[in-house]
């Protein structure tokens, strides 16, 4: 009843058209920015309590990214809201054509637990910029962060505009029984399929940001020192609980030993001889995920790490050589600090392996050869990715972030967040000073002229 009542209140508020005004949108973004700054310390403490996330990572990958997104929207929103003039055509002469971007109405935003603040509030920035009302569903696994977000939002916004519902899967199920005007979901492919199924009953447009096994390829001509350092950073950030983390490593056979040695060295430099004692290494979110990761370690050869301490919810940064491609670690998304290491001898082998699996969310390739870079990109597909880098592509406001196929649909960040929460409304304005009679019956003798015009 509370969900239904809130939804009806938001529909009524949206019908007043206040959320569509530029001034209203800009003020809402300012309020959100001020609220985040006011609650910054509590958010750090909440993420520490949920999975011992280092404050540096909490700012760099969550709070800082969101603040940057808000400021980017505030700078560009006036321009984005202007109708876009597009070329006319001879068929409709004399006329002008424009695309108006209008808000959908009431948006539902569902976030996962691994980046509980950023993956909920970043989409909200897009929903606000585009002029929507929104209902937020934070992840229930990160209970402290969910409550901190709920308190922050309720302190700043009226529920008839922005509302938050906390709780477990039953709350998600109740929300998905309602009709929304758009749904933005970030999470597992399995739950994403359920969201899409529920949305289809109302023909509700959806954006799905899912996961997948993102490959990381290191060719023989790569800068191995840089590759090792960057891969170790991207893989073990947030204890590997990152949707775009390298999920498995394909390294040219000739440089495998050197790269593995570089990775071990990078791990030690970042987290010390005993990562368990490092204040910079996060913990696994819960016992369920711990059991999943223990199963990942049940086969294969540990090259580095492998230590598991259940009471601490700790899994050491681990390099693992799988026994085969059928091992659990190569069949499921890992979502933890375990990096399988496989070898290849030709890029054709890499292409065959990557293309035999669902399209990944991210794709990483380390190579000094531009020709090899373009060759691999042209023969594989992914939501996004990097050359000679990992993870960092999602920080660029100028590029859409999203998946393809099994890793999701739709993109956001920057302008693309505004676009994701907007309907493109094409409007033709026709002049009345001329009315060409060609289209009107009778049609005798007109077909040749129409063919010429349309050609």
- Asked if 153 and 171 touch (Cβ cutoff 8 Å), the reply is no
Give the pLDDT score at 122: 98
pLDDT value at residue 454: 86
Give per-residue burial for 54-87: e unless 16+ CB within 10 Å, then b: bbebbbebbbebbbebbebbbeebeebbeeeeee
Length of the chain equals: 455
What pLDDT digit, counting tens, does each position of 401-412 carry? 999 999 999 999
Average pLDDT over residues 353-382: 97
Say if residue 453's pLDDT is above 90. Answer: no
* 282, 235 Cβ separation under 8 angstroms: no
Q: Region of 237 please: left (phi>0), alpha (psi -120 to 50) or beta.
A: beta
pTM equals: 0.96
Inform me whether the pLDDT recorded for 1 exceeds 80: no
What is the CB neighbour count within 10 angstroms for residue 135? 23
pLDDT at position 212, please? 86
> Which string of DSSP letters, residue by residue, matches 387-425?
ES-SSGGGG-TTS-EE--GGGEE-EESTHHHHHHTEEEE
Helix H or strand E encompassing 330 = helix 328-331
Determine the angle formed by the axes of helices 64-81 and 22-38, rounding to 10 degrees.
Answer: 170
Active site residue ranges: 209, 243
Pairing of strands 401-402, 215-218: unpaired
């Amino acid at each position: 009843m509370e969900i239904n009542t809130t939804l009806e209140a938001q529909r009524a508020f949206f019908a007043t058209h206040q959320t569509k005004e530029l001034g209203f949108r800009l003020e809402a973004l300012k309020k959100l920015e001020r609220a985040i700054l006011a609650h910054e310390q509590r958010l750090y403490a909440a993420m520490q309590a949920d999975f011992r996330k280092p404050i540096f990572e909490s700012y760099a990958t969550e709070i800082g990214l969101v603040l940057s997104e808000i400021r980017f929207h505030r700078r560009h929103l006036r321009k984005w809201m202007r109708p876009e003039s597009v070329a006319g055509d001879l068929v409709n002469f004399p006329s002008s054509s424009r695309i108006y971007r209008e808000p959908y109405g009431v948006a539902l935003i569902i976030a996962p637990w691994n980046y509980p603040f950023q993956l909920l509030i970043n989409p909200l920035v897009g929903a606000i910029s585009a002029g929507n009302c929104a209902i937020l569903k934070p992840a229930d696994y990160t209970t402290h962060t969910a409550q901190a977000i709920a308190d922050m939002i309720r302190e700043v916004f009226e529920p008839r505009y922005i509302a938050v519902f906390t709780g477990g899967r039953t709350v998600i199920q109740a929300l998905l029984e309602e009709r929304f005007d758009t749904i933005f979901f970030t999470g597992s492919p399995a739950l994403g399929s359920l969201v899409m199924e529920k949305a289809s009953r109302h023909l509700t447009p959806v954006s799905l940001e899912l996961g997948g096994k993102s490959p990381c390829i290191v060719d023989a001509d790569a800068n191995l020192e840089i590759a090792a350092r960057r891969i170790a950073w991207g893989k073990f950030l947030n204890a590997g609980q990152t949707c775009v983390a390298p999920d498995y490593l394909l390294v040219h056979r000739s440089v495998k030993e050197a790269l593995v040695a570089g990775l071990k060295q990078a791990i030690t430099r970042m987290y010390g001889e005993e990562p368990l004692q490092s204040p910079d290494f996060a913990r696994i979110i819960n016992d369920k995920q711990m059991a999943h990761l223990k199963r990942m370690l049940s086969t294969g050869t540990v090259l580095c790490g492998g230590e598991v301490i259940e009471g601490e919810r700790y899994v050491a940064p681990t390099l693992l050589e799988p026994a085969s491609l059928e091992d659990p670690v190569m069949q499921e998304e890992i979502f933890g600090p375990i990096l399988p290491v496989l070898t290849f001898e030709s890029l054709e082998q890499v292409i065959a392996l990557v293309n035999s699996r669902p399209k990944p969310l991210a794709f990483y390739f380390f190579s000094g050869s531009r020709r090899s870079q373009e060759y691999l990109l042209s023969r594989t597909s992914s939501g996004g990715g990097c050359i000679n880098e990992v993870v960092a592509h999602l920080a660029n406001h100028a590029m859409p972030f999203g998946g393809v196929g099994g890793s999701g649909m739709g993109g956001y960040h920057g302008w693309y967040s505004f676009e994701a929460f907007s309907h493109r409304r094409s409007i033709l304005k026709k002049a009345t000073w001329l009315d060409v009679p060609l289209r009107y019956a009778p049609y005798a003798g007109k077909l040749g002229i129409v063919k010429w015009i349309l050609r």
